Chains A and B, each alone.
Chain A
Amino acid sequence: MSVLDSKIPEGPLEHKWNNYKNTINLVNPANKRNIDIIVVGTGLAGGSAAATLAELGYNVKTFCYQDSPRRAHSIAAQGGINASKNYQGDGDSDYRLFYDTVKGGDYRAREANVYRLAEVSGNIIDQCVAQGVPFAREYGGQLDNRSFGGVLVSRTFYAKGQTGQQLLLGAYSAMNRQINRGKIQSYTRHEMLDVVIVGGKARGIIARDLVTGQIERHSAHAVVIASGGYGNVFYLSTNAMGSNATAAWKVHKKGAFFANPCFTQIHPTCIPVSGEHQSKLTLMSESLRNDGRIWVPKKLEDAKAIREGRLKPTELAEEDRDYYLERRYPAFGNLVPRDVASRAAKERCDAGYGVNKTGEAVYLDFGSAFMRYGKEAVATQKIENATEAQIKELGQKVVEAKYGNLFQMYEKIVDENPYETPMKIYPAVHYTMGGLWVDYNLQTTVPGLYAAGEANFSDHGANRLGASALMQGLADGYFVLPYTMGDYLAADIRTGAIPTNSPEFDEAENKVREQLEKLMNTNGTKSVDHFHKRLGKIMWNKVGMSRNAVHLKEAIGEIKQLREEFWKDVRIPGEMNGMNTELEKAGRVADFLELGELFAKDALHREESCGGHFREEYQTEEGEALRDDENFMYVAAWEYTGEPADAILHKENLDYEYIEVKTRSYK
């Protein structure tokens, strides 16, 4: 029944990519000058793809809604980037990185793609260093590494807590070099509103200039969608305010299949929601779980007293605290993977043990770390008869050196000093593993239309490991697309420039204009945010961290209803011809209102629990995720047919030839 061809090259796993590169078609340099490529999104995937394709000689146009490519949300990634360099000599290899990624993804990723990712990971670090990315270094002048959750080696390269920023500025500088050469035309404050398909191939886009409001036509021989994930369907997430799924959703409606939309990562350590006015959530790096211990009170009455402000957490005796991760998962303790840690926090809070006024927070406590580091400091500094207070102070200094900027950020937002009282944290939507379905070439089901980075689905299965998103974005852009697109474009050397006056462009532009006019003319009574917030609540309550058939069916109905209400009652002040930020938001929310329904439909159909997708009906007696490999070891790729409810399911079966499929256990 499937029309999906993943185009995995023949040969043994470790030779596939090399064999592929040796046999593909190439475009000669003179012909590259006659070929145009559009890249939508300028984060790590889009920025690196644009720079590399332009270096090769193609004419590239980039589009971003921000006022500069440097502001794409890759900039906010904190922790680091993985690579199988094995600089630490701790036994790392391409195979281990590949294995950890497939296992971490709960066996729902494609083997060949993940192996290639591991294979090029080392090249990424070489490339970034050559660009002048200032990674952390050791005193000997070599690159430093640290360790992240779910793995047994140190393979994470980092630049303090700003790794995403530094890598993005590296890709941005590579783009700037090509802009200076005239090989990239950078369109900032522009939003792609549709793809144009001519003769079955992606041949251009319709974009809106967000300053003048003008609708523009841009043609090309191929189009890359690198516009990031769709986490903002939940309204509250760690994504940027402008992060949206419009480019990905519009191409889905034009024929690109959307894969595994229900695979969403909820990150366990974020600052809890403080009130109704909240506009976004802030992440506290996973690295904090190396030293922080997570707990809630053992007794319900203590939790109640804390919520009501009658009891301070520091007053609660050790034996009255429930370190639930250490209790449930003694082997991994506080360093279980993200999906497991998030669910465990929700379970405790749902049972009534939450510790803030909304009952949706747990403690991340550094008290033990202060004492442990303090005792070390006392020993190395040979201080005799140190008091408890002295030990604590010395320990706090060590913690400050490691995580000082994060503690400062927490204090600015929450107005509590985390050195004196434990941090309060709660899970929040962070990353979407699902996305546009792509084959080995990163091509969608529409010829000439590619998807890279978080916008595609391919490498993380049902759960992404820390420090792997940056790796994937740069692998796709620097090292994969330049080859795979060349193979495709070799057939286009005689095509010549694509005209923008064709009926296909006329039709696409008219549709875009119609939708904008419809939004402007609705003249309803409620703001765009009103609908977005309501959608977010449905998604969080019924399609969030744990799901069941009853809630999912309700959600599907409620989202459909909300969508109808939106189109009748949304109010957008101002004009279409000019800058109108409400109109921009409205278009994005209109797409989220469709995507959310497909998301719930996908979650309903997947009758198993795996990675970030937890179905309450499918769990073990201890409450752990229960996978069903016999019936669900496939990628669910949805074809749009007019309404999200009518989307047709296509399955790409996953074969594991090089990895033994096991139950993930962290006990």
Chain B
Amino acid sequence: MNLTLKIWRQKDANAKGGIVTYQLGGVEPDMSFLEMLDVLNQDLIDKGEEPVVFDHDCREGICGTCSLQINGEPHGPDRLITTCQLHMRMFKDGDTIVIEPFRAKAFPVIKDLIVDRSSFERIQQAGGYVSVNTSGNTQDANAILVPKDKADTAFDAATCIGCGACVAACKNASAMLFTSAKVSQLALLPQGEVEADRRVLAMVEQMDKEGFGNCTNTGACEIECPKGISLENIARMNREYLRASTK
């Protein structure tokens, strides 16, 4: 396959970036999207140019490191996968592919396609935990029974990989899906319920401070989420927030 790649290049956080066009041949349908970029980078290095930098690590869809806005969609055209799981057979010979970083005020560009997602870290640090020390004397794991459906719903929320596709997909750059996934997981479990009020207030406050936008229920986040995190989590967080803030 031969492709035309239009890629965002930006030297560092302070530089002005822009789209650069590259022609790339020898792409095989079995390659992953990131392996295609590896081939481009090998060409660039051979020519003595700086390779295009992009975030990636596990390359099996679980670490949440990879990002990329591909032809306007976070993680590209396929569904329920991350960019590292996207394969070139989704494209045709002669295609033009536009590759940009995730765009949001709270995700400033570090270089080329890499963005700074530390705003997500700070939201988690504000309250995304259960206050329990490690002692070896916590009660037996089976002492508190958890109904299977609740445990399963909590698990579904907990599968969020923190990639930021929800923010990149949202016209308001809202982080409601991300924040609500953690709020939901812990609110649904008896272990997390005790400090649920404190948690939701602290996490939402931090989310707002970071400059993420509001949720207007377009549902784009749910569609683009590689792990299929449900919009119901946002509804649950809103209920939790309302309850906590009127106490």
Contact = CB atoms under 8 A, between A and B. Distances in A.
Interface of A: 48, 51-52, 55, 66-68, 70-71, 73, 75-76, 85, 87, 120, 123, 125-132, 134-143, 159-160, 162, 165-166, 169, 172-174, 176-177, 179-180, 186, 188, 211, 238, 240-242, 274-275, 277-280, 282-283, 409, 412-413, 415, 478-479, 482, 527, 529, 571, 573-574, 578-579, 581-582
A282 B131 contact: no
B141 A211 contact: no
A571 B134 contact: no
Contacts of A415: 29-30, 87, 89
A257 B177 CA distance: 47
B159 A126 contact: no
Given A87-B142, A174-B129, A241-B59, A413 B85 contact: yes
Kindly list the 6 A-B residue pairs having the minimum CB-CB distance in the complex, ordered from nearest. Answer: A141-B145, A173-B129, A134-B155, A129-B141, A134-B154, A130-B138
B134 A482 contact: yes
Nearest to B88: A277
B88 to A, nearest CB: 10
Nearest to B111: A579
A71 B63 contact: yes
Contacts, number: 209
> Which of A120, A128, A282 has most B Cβ within 10 Å?
A282
A279 B38 contact: yes
B23 interface: no
Secondary structure dominating the interface of B: loop
A276 B118 CA distance: 35
Contact of B130 (A67, A131, A138, A409): A131
Contacts of A529: 38, 42
B146 A127 contact: no
A176 B129 CA distance: 7
A238 B58 CA distance: 8
Contacts of A125: 141
Contacts of B55: 67
Contact of B59 (A129, A279, A578): A279
Interface in B99-141: 110-111, 114, 116-118, 120-121, 124-134, 136, 138-141
Contact of A75 (B44, B58, B152, B158): B58
Given A578-B12, A579-B12, A68 B117 contact: yes
Given A176-B129, A579-B111, A73 B146 contact: no
A248 to B, nearest CB: 18
24 contacts: A66-B65, A70-B162, A76-B62, A87-B142, A127-B132, A129-B144, A130-B130, A130-B132, A130-B138, A131-B132, A132-B186, A132-B192, A137-B147, A141-B151, A142-B145, A176-B125, A177-B131, A238-B60, A282-B59, A415-B30, A527-B42, A529-B42, A578-B12, A579-B53
Interface residues of B, number: 78
A139 B87 contact: no
Contact of A135 (B56, B111, B151, B159): B151
Given A70-B64, A176-B128, A277-B28, A166 B57 contact: no
Given A76-B63, A134-B151, A174-B134, A240 B57 contact: yes
B35 A277 contact: yes
B75 to A, nearest CB: 12
Contact of B45 (A73, A85, A130, A571): A571
A73 B58 contact: yes
A282 B35 CA distance: 14
Nearest to B37: A279
A75 B148 CA distance: 24
Given A52-B134, A131-B129, A166-B158, A241 B60 contact: no
Contacts of A478: 134, 136
A579 B110 contact: yes
Interface string B61-82: 1111100000000000010010
A66 B124 CA distance: 16
Contacts of B124: 172-173, 176
Contact of B136 (A48, A73, A127, A282): A127
